[in-house]
Amino acid sequence: MTQAKTPTDHTAAPAAGPVGDRAAVRPPGRAVDRAVEPAAAVPAGPEGVEEPGPAGGPSPLRLLLEQVRPHRRVLVAGGLLSLLGSGADLAMPMMAKHAVDAFADGRSPVRPLVALTLAVLLGAFLAAAGRYMMARTGEAAVLRARRRLVGRMLRLRVEAVDRLTPGDLLSRATGDTSLLRTVLSRNIADAVTGVLVLLGTVVLMAVVDLVLLGVTLLAVLLALGLLALLMPRIQRAQHQAQEAVGAMGSALDRALQAFRTVKASGAEERESAAVAEAARRAHERGVAVAWWNSVSDVTTSVAMQFAFLAVLGVGGARTVSGAMEVSSLVAFLLYLFALMGPLGQLTDGWTGLSGGLAAVRRIREVEELPRESPGGAPSPRGSSPLGVAFEDVVFGYGGHLEGRSPAHRGVTFEVPAGGLTAIVGPSGAGKSTVFALLERFYEHDAGTVAVGGRDIRHWPLAELRSAIAYVEQDAPVLAGTLRENLLLAAPDAAEEEVRRAVSRTRLDGLVERLPGGLDAQVGHRGVTLSGGERQRIAIARALLRRPRLLLLDEVTSQLDAVNEEALREVVVELAAETTVLAIAHRLSTVVRADRIVVMEDGRVRAVGLHADLLRSDALYAGLAATQLVAGRSPARAAAEAVEEPSGPS
Ligand SMILES: Nc1ncnc2c1ncn2[C@@H]1O[C@H](COP(=O)(O)OP(=O)(O)OP(=O)(O)O)[C@@H](O)[C@H]1O
């Protein structure tokens, strides 16, 4: 599933003029804080990225046994108790034989009957205790598997998660891990005790009558042979059933993620039909599993019925001829019935085990995806600002391998520590990709990205990310309280700091209005808030982090004029304390920037100040006149562009 990114040949040289010209990119009087480390120093594998293990890996059975290993002692103890319980069951036919003999000989049957009763009670108690121990172990194993899987899921690389659906991941973390419980608490014990009790029964049958044992074994071997033929089909059906449940999760997730859009588009019927179709397929697969389970059940039971008839015939003839006693025939028949139990246990254990194997395989698939290792200590909040440098950076999201052009085709620009840098450009120019690479959500294919003069591949991931605050385009708010959302990136921030961030981002009105204030619940994905409120929360969250580099993606796009102006002030204030990189949507942000990076088609086209760029760069002039001021008429925008001051420096 992992698709390794290969370096591409798109290392296009910087175009003529200001594009990619480092001298032009660096504003006069500001030096980049430290030199970029030479490319030769880059280690073979970038820091913080764990590569997946070798393809193939251990077999599902070994993986399952790995899950079992930490619990083996309890499992053995529980298994022994269950076995002792079954042992008591095994003693019963012999005791019944003694009782029958006692009746026939005119002796008192009290002792064998009391022994029989005690055996029944002891057997029931031991078996129940064994089952309880196994069930507890099963729960412990599920907990362990879930912790491990969820821990790994949140460490997966963004690139890997881009290709997965949350619904399917969810079904692996919940449904598939639950299957492990059944395997550990029941199926493994069933299979092991099944085999042992089967052997014990066969030995006791041999003691009673060898000829009848021969007849029985023929039937048992026939049943086992047929089961061996059925097993691969059962396993395949199990795997398909679990995949189908995952697919249904994905279908439902798709509709729920875009709940309002689905409604607004009148697509409820179609979406629910799609989920229903996925549910139907899951049902179909489930029925297939039930079918193969029934076939295996009927196979064993028919084989045993044949054995019963044959034993009855042969045994009847042998008692008539005097070759065996009636009580022995009764005991043998009881053992034959007792054989049904372990045989059933064996088939159930085996089919359950195949479900468990399919589950570990699906869990393993997620665990094998490339993930990040955080590495390094988070840097303290509020240290000195960091400069940023991109040099000839080439990067494609993976789609470029299928013919799509890469998102970055030789991006070069430099931003000194401190100050406000605006990034502008048409949609799809690669602006957000600059941020994604700085956060190392993706690894660039060629060129160098440096933060604080140090190649980002040399930054331990946790240290790099803790130095950066990132306000995403759609400003996500998590389910929980307002406070939890604000403290997400700075859990140790003091109450006073929180209050200050709230007031700077003009959230105080909201906090007053909400019942519970900062402790009010904001709903799933912040649905109880407006788009502008969500954005301001995202900005407040970033402020609390006191970053050394602040990345703002179209951050004022959903704000009204008053809030927008207030936040622009905050951004300008922040630029005095730290480095701010803002993908600018509004002209008013751009004109205050210390420098503007104009991107087009995966490259930096020009860098400069507003007034200069208006004159020297046609694309920028066009953008300034229209796109940058979304929602206003081009004529008004053009007028504004001319009226606006030309920036602080
Ligand atoms: N996760 C992704 N997987 C594949 N392709 C992507 C991904 N994200 C972005 N792209 C593609 O990469 C290119 C650059 O995208 P990017 O988001 O950097 O543009 P942008 O300049 O920020 O655009 P906008 O202003 O519309 O947000 C686009 O062609 C886009 O379709």
- Out of 343, 367, 391, pick the residue that ends a domain: 367
Q: Rounded mean pLDDT of the chain?
A: 79
What's the CA gap between 227 and 253, in Å, rounded?
Answer: 38
For residue 413, which of 36, 5, 29 has the smallest C-alpha distance?
36
What's the CA gap between 65 and 59, in Å, rounded?
Answer: 10
Helix ranges (H only) for 439-507 are 461-467, 482-486, 495-504
Do 511 and 505 touch, CB atoms closer than 8 A? no
Assigned domain for 16 exists: no
Residue 544 and residue 499 share a domain: yes
- With a 6 A CB cut-off, is 601 part of the ligand 1 pocket? no
CA of 597 to the centre of ligand 1 (A): 17
CA of 434 to the centre of ligand 1 (A): 10
pLDDT at position 376, please? 66
Question: In the 8-state DSSP scheme, what is residue 596?
Answer: E
Confidence class for position 416, pLDDT limits 50, 70, 90: very high
- With a 6 A CB cut-off, is 433 part of the ligand 1 pocket? yes
Instruction: Identify the residue whose C-alpha is closest to ligand 1 atom 17.
Output: 432
Residue 328 and residue 447 share a domain: no
Residue 438 and residue 387 share a domain: yes
Assigned domain for 138 exists: yes
Assigned domain for 9 exists: no
pTM listed for this prediction: 0.69
pLDDT above 80 for 643: no
For residues 476-500, one letter each, b for 16 or more C-beta atoms within 10 angstroms of the residue's C-beta and e for the rest, the string is: ebeebbbbbbbbbbbeebeeebbee
CA of 272 to the centre of ligand 1 (A): 30
CA angle 362, 368, 370 (to 5 degrees): 135
Q: Tens digit of pLDDT for each residue in 375-400? A: 666 766 667 899 999 999 999 987 54
- Out of 342, 367, 392, pick the residue that ends a domain: 367
Residue 392 and residue 329 share a domain: no
Considering Cα of 334, then 337, then 339, then 342, what sign does the dihedral take? negative
Instruction: Identify the residue whose C-alpha is closest to ligand 1 atom 18.
Output: 430
Instruction: Identify the residue whose C-alpha is closest to ligand 1 atom 12.
Output: 407
Q: What is the mean pLDDT of residues 567-591?
A: 85
Give the residue numbers spanning the domain of 256: 60-367
Do 191 and 183 touch, CB atoms closer than 8 A? no
Residue 441 and residue 320 share a domain: no
CA of 436 to the centre of ligand 1 (A): 10
Residue 412 and residue 340 share a domain: no
What's the CA gap between 587 and 144, in Å, rounded?
Answer: 53
CATH of residue 258's domain is 1.20.1560.10
pLDDT at position 258, please? 82
Question: In the 8-state DSSP scheme, what is residue 393?
Answer: E
Helix (H, G, I), strand (E, B) or coil at 583: strand
Q: Look up residue 122 and give its two tokens.
A: 């002891």
Helix ranges (H only) for 209-267 are 210-257, 259-264
Confidence class for position 477, pLDDT limits 50, 70, 90: confident
Instruction: Identify the residue whose C-alpha is closest to ligand 1 atom 25.
Output: 427
What's the CA gap between 117 and 123, in Å, rounded?
Answer: 10
pLDDT above 70 for 623: yes
Do 49 and 372 touch, CB atoms closer than 8 A? yes
- With a 6 A CB cut-off, is 428 part of the ligand 1 pocket? yes
For residue 424, which of 631, 644, 599, 616 has the smallest C-alpha distance?
599
Distances (CA, A) of 152 to 147, 157, 161, 364, 629: 8, 10, 12, 11, 43
Assigned domain for 471 exists: yes
Helix ranges (H only) for 258-325 are 259-264, 268-321
CATH of residue 495's domain is 3.40.50.300
Residue 392 and residue 259 share a domain: no
Instruction: Identify the residue whose C-alpha is closest to ligand 1 atom 2.
Output: 397
What's the CA gap between 563 and 551, in Å, rounded?
Answer: 19
Helix (H, G, I), strand (E, B) or coil at 220: helix
Residue 399 and residue 360 share a domain: no
**Pick from 86-95, 353-362, 417-426, 541-550: least confident:** 86-95
pLDDT at position 437, please? 95
What's the CA gap between 480 and 521, in Å, rounded?
Answer: 5
- For the chain, the first-to-last Cα distance in angstroms comes to 51
- With a 6 A CB cut-off, is 275 part of the ligand 1 pocket? no
Residue 345 and residue 395 share a domain: no
Assigned domain for 193 exists: yes
Residue 546 and residue 427 share a domain: yes
Residue 414 and residue 314 share a domain: no
Q: What is the mean pLDDT of residues 336-342?
A: 81
CA of 200 to the centre of ligand 1 (A): 67
Assigned domain for 7 exists: no
Do 491 and 550 touch, CB atoms closer than 8 A? no
Q: Tens digit of pLDDT for each residue in 227-266? A: 888 888 887 888 888 889 888 888 888 888 888 788 888 8
Assigned domain for 15 exists: no
Assigned domain for 1 exists: no
CA of 304 to the centre of ligand 1 (A): 65
Q: Tens digit of pLDDT for each residue in 68-91? A: 788 888 878 887 887 787 777 777
Residue 268 and residue 190 share a domain: yes
What's the CA gap between 537 and 514, in Å, rounded?
Answer: 14
Domains of the chain: total: 2
- With a 6 A CB cut-off, is 259 part of the ligand 1 pocket? no
Considering Cα of 398, then 436, then 563, then 486, what sign does the dihedral take? positive
- With a 6 A CB cut-off, is 429 part of the ligand 1 pocket? yes
